[in-house]
Copies of this chain bind each other. A is one copy, B any other.
Amino acid sequence: MVNSERALIRKIRLQARTRRNRSVVAGIGDDCAVLRLPSQMDTLVTTDFSLEGVHFRRDWHSPECVGHRCLARGLSDIAAMGGVPVAAFLSLALPGNMRQVWVNRFMTGLLNLAGHYRVALAGGDTAESLQGILADIIVLGTAPKGKALLRSSARPGDRIYVSGELGGSAATLEQLRNSPAKKLRESQYPRHFFPEPRIELGRILRENGIASAMIDTSDGLSTDISHICEESGVGAELEQETIPRACIGEPSRQVDLSFALHGGEDYELLFTAAPGKRLPQQIAGIRITQIGKITRGNKIYLRDASDIKRKLRPQGWEHFSK
Residues in A lying within 8 Å of B, measured CB to CB: 1-3, 25-26, 29-37, 39-40, 42-49, 51-55, 76-78, 80-81, 83, 87, 89-91, 93, 122-125, 127-132, 134, 136, 138, 140-141, 143, 145-146, 148, 150-152, 214-216, 219, 223, 231, 314, 316-319, 321-322
Q: Are the CB atoms of B93 and A32 closer together than 8 Å? A: no
- Closest residue to A49 on the B side, CB-wise? B127
The reply to whether B34 and A91 contact each other, CB–CB distance below 8 Å, is no
Given contacts A2-B318, A131-B131, A138-B89, contact A123 B46 (CB under 8 A): yes
Q: Which of B33, B45, B152 contacts A44 (CB 8 A)?
A: B33
A54 → chain B, closest Cβ, in Å? 6
Indicate if the CB atoms of A148 and B1 lie closer than 8 Å.
no
Asked whether A45 lies within 8 Å of B151 as measured between CB atoms, the reply is no
Known: A129-B54, A130-B54. Contact between A47 and B80, CB under 8 A?
A: no
The answer to whether A141 and B31 touch across the interface, beta carbons within 8 angstroms, is no
Pair B131/A30 contact, Cβ less than 8 Å: no
A49 touches B125 (CB 8 A): yes
Decide: A29 near B151, CB < 8 A? Known: A35-B45, A46-B123: yes
A43 near B37 (CB under 8 angstroms)? yes
Inter-chain CA distance A136–B45, complex, in Å, is 14
> Taking CB as reference atom, which chain B residue is nearest A317?
B2
Q: Of all chain B residues, which has the CB nearest A45?
A: B33
> Which one of A2, A40, A54 has the highest number of Cβ atoms from chain B below 10 Å of its Cβ?
A2
Q: Which 3 A-B pairs have the closest CB atoms?
A: A2-B316, A39-B39, A31-B80
Q: Is the CB of B45 within 8 A of A81?
A: no
Kindly report which residue of chain B lies nearest to residue A2, judged by CB atoms: B316
Closest chain B residue to A38, Cβ basis: B39
The listed residue with most B CB atoms (<10 A of its CB), out of A83, A125, A318, is A125
State in angstroms the CA–CA spacing of A131 and B87 once bound together.
30
Distance in Å from the Cβ of A65 to the closest Cβ of chain B?
19
Q: Known A129-B51, A150-B30, A219-B2; judge A45-B91 contact (CB<8 A).
A: no
A316: min CB distance to chain B, Å: 3
List 14 interface pairs A-B (beta carbons < 8 Å), by A numbering. A1-B316, A1-B321, A2-B314, A2-B317, A26-B150, A34-B143, A45-B87, A45-B138, A45-B140, A49-B91, A54-B128, A54-B130, A55-B127, A93-B134
Closest-CB distance, A99 to chain B (whole angstroms): 19
Question: B151, B317, B318, B321: which contacts A130 (Cβ < 8 A)?
Answer: B321
- Contact B36–A145 (Cβ < 8 Å): yes
Which residues of chain B come closer than 8 Å to A319, judged between CB atoms? 127
Q: Which of B39, B47, B127, B231 contacts A138 (CB 8 A)?
A: B47
* B134 A51 Cβ-Cβ under 8 A: yes
User: Complex Cα distance A316/B231, Å?
Assistant: 47
**How far is the CB of A87 from the nearest CB of chain B, in Å?**
7
